[in-house]
Structure 1
Amino acid sequence: MSNPLVSIARVILPAALVYVAYTYLGPAAGVGLLIALALVYLYLNRSIIYQNRAGKKYQKGDFEGVLADLKTAVSSAPKNPKVRGTYAFFLVKMGYTEDAAVEIDKAIECAVTEADKKSLLVTKSLVLWKQRKIDEAIKELEELLITYENTNVYATLGFLYIEKGDYNKALEFNLKARDFNSSSTIILDNLGYTYFLLGDYDNALETYKDVIKNKPNFPEAFYNYARVLEKKGDLEKALYMVRYSLTLRFWNTSTVKKEEVEAYLAELEAKEKAIELEKKENQDTKEPIDNI
């Protein structure tokens, strides 16, 4: 039976049962059956309910609560690869790398379709990266990209080349990634940061202008842009960008730690004070001459 027919049957059959019970057995029987069917529906769909709860907690910033609800969702549907894959992804984001490794392997084992398996392999590569197995992570995505051209694959593999330190390879790949999706803020950030690392600050600056236009929501974009701006001599704007980056959430999968950004901010602020002090000293030196 096709999926549309199954969906229709799931609606019509219970409705028919309630109608028959109500008509031939009376209102009480009809209402009783309706309540029973509702309870069965809630039981069968409890995994979805917990996922929805997790989504609401995420919006409120209750990330440990998200993990708890996703864990319960997995317990409710242990063979569902998507649910377990979501749980694994959030585990690695939160820093529970070894737990994520166990869950993502189970999710891949449960995947029935190639499409499900391929999307899970992106999370697998993140886990490998956090386990310091960057070569394995890169190999996984290079093989995946042959049959699965996808923005997440391009974005993840692009930053892995940077993490590996292969900047020329990263530049070649991230240019290709931009051709695939020129509005992805992660892909554009990868490209802009590659230009920065190669010392091409002009192209880095132009790329980060595009990044900001697309409204990124991760701290690396603003931190990396600040570094480019500093190199271009725009200290004021660099300070603004690095301060803004610190208002955003840092995850275990962030490519820069919050402490690094805070240290960079302190460095820029010290530089700003030194410039202001130098200006003041120059003014004080000139003042007696101006008064003669």
Structure 2
Amino acid sequence: MNIILLTVPLILVMYLFYRFRSFPLFIKAMKIYNTGDISKALKMLKDAVEAGLAAKYQLTVGYILLKEGYTEDAERIFTFLINTPQGKFNSNHARAYSALIHWKKGHLDEAIQELKTLLEEDYRTTALYSNLGFFLIEKGDLDKALEINLEAFYYDGFSPVILDNLGLCYIKREEWVKAEEIYEKLIKSDPGFPDAWYNAALVAIQRGDKEKAESLLNSALEKKFSYLSTLNKAQVEEQLQLLKG
């Protein structure tokens, strides 16, 4: 009898640990990811998803996988979240992120259309505006890009990505005074992605401030470049060499 009384609670504890291990595993993986051990963290994040991680955290895992260049893994997660009801989870979140995959595959029009459709369905998030604002600049539709990026700015004027998109839009339109205003504000917030620093350097170059531009480009090189960066390290280095030459 005593053995049975001891065994049943033990089995229950083991079951509960196995059943709900996904979230602690996710938290641990995120801590490891932030230390820079990317390979170990990604393996743990995938394990957390397989263990039944909640949908909103699966979305985060999908984005991280995409950011690190694991497009197929990310796409599988987004597709699952889009097609499988997950309680209160809004599948539009996954649709918005899946547009990034269209873009990386070279299907820019599909990416834009997906996000435009979501806007028409009254779905709005900072991530959606961040992606659509940049995609329209990439497309070269600068009038629509300005319209969306201004709308995005009024939606979330504190988002570094949204500010960068608006600043880049002004650069493309050669509205340098407005671009300078944006980047003065943005750089003060110390954005963690290289694109903002590079674009701010372009404004400094146009204004004739080579010393400031060089400093901004060096700061860009110190930031982490990801699969989702809109430029690569070689482009920044090339611009720096041109400036020095």
SS in structure 1 opposite 2:226? Answer: coil
**1:22: which partner in 2?**
none
The answer to whether structure 1 residue 159 and structure 2 residue 134 are counterparts is yes
SS in structure 2 opposite 1:233? Answer: coil
| Maintained 8 Å contact 2:217/2:240 | yes
The answer to whether structure 1 residue 96 and structure 2 residue 77 are counterparts is no
Root mean square deviation of aligned Cα: 2.1
**1:227: which partner in 2?**
202
| Maintained 8 Å contact 1:82/1:107 | no
SS in structure 1 opposite 2:222? Answer: coil
Structure possessing the higher radius of gyration over alpha carbons = 1
Gaps of 5+ in 2: none
Residue type of the alignment partner of 1:53: K
Q: 1:66 to 1:106 in 2, by over 3 A?
A: same
Residue type of the alignment partner of 2:194: P
- Out of 121, 125, 146, the residue aligned to residue 171 of structure 1 is 146
Gaps of 5+ in 1: 1-24, 271-292
SS in structure 1 opposite 2:228? Answer: coil
**1:5: which partner in 2?**
none
| Maintained 8 Å contact 1:77/1:83 | no
| Residue 32 (structure 1) shift | 6.3
| Maintained 8 Å contact 1:81/1:107 | yes
| Alignment partners' CA distance in 2, 1:32 and 1:268 | 72
| Maintained 8 Å contact 1:70/1:83 | no
Over residues 234-261 of structure 1, what are the superposed CA-to-partner deviations in whole Å (9 max), with x where a residue is unaligned?
A: 1111111110111111111111111111
TM-score (structure 1 length as normaliser): 0.77
**1:243: which partner in 2?**
218
- Out of 31, 37, 42, the residue aligned to residue 56 of structure 1 is 31
Q: 1:31 to 1:139 in 2, by over 3 A?
A: same
Compare 34-43 and 96-105 and name the one that shifted more. Answer: 34-43
| Residue 263 (structure 1) shift | 1.1
**1:43: which partner in 2?**
18
The answer to whether structure 1 residue 65 and structure 2 residue 40 are counterparts is yes
The answer to whether structure 1 residue 105 and structure 2 residue 79 are counterparts is yes
| Alignment partners' CA distance in 2, 1:114 and 1:51 | 20
| Alignment partners' CA distance in 2, 1:268 and 1:82 | 45
| Residue 92 (structure 1) shift | 1.5
**2:125: which partner in 1?**
150
**1:120: which partner in 2?**
94
| Alignment partners' CA distance in 2, 1:259 and 1:37 | 55
SS in structure 1 opposite 2:91? Answer: helix
Compare 144-153 and 180-189 and name the one that shifted more. Answer: 144-153
| Alignment partners' CA distance in 2, 1:259 and 1:134 | 23
Q: 1:115 to 1:61 in 2, by over 3 A?
A: same
Residue type of the alignment partner of 1:140: E
| Alignment partners' CA distance in 2, 1:59 and 1:32 | 39
Over residues 162-209 of structure 1, what are the superposed CA-to-partner deviations in whole Å (9 max), with x where a residue is unaligned?
A: 111112211121111111111111111000011011111111000111
Q: 1:77 to 1:110 in 2, by over 3 A?
A: same
| Maintained 8 Å contact 2:163/2:182 | yes
TM-score (structure 2 length as normaliser): 0.91
**1:205: which partner in 2?**
180
| Alignment partners' CA distance in 2, 1:264 and 1:237 | 13
| Alignment partners' CA distance in 2, 1:68 and 1:241 | 35
**2:228: which partner in 1?**
253
| Residue 155 (structure 1) shift | 1.0
The answer to whether structure 1 residue 262 and structure 2 residue 243 are counterparts is no
Over residues 11-53 of structure 1, what are the superposed CA-to-partner deviations in whole Å (9 max), with x where a residue is unaligned?
A: xxxxxxxxxxxxxx98x98876665444333211111122112
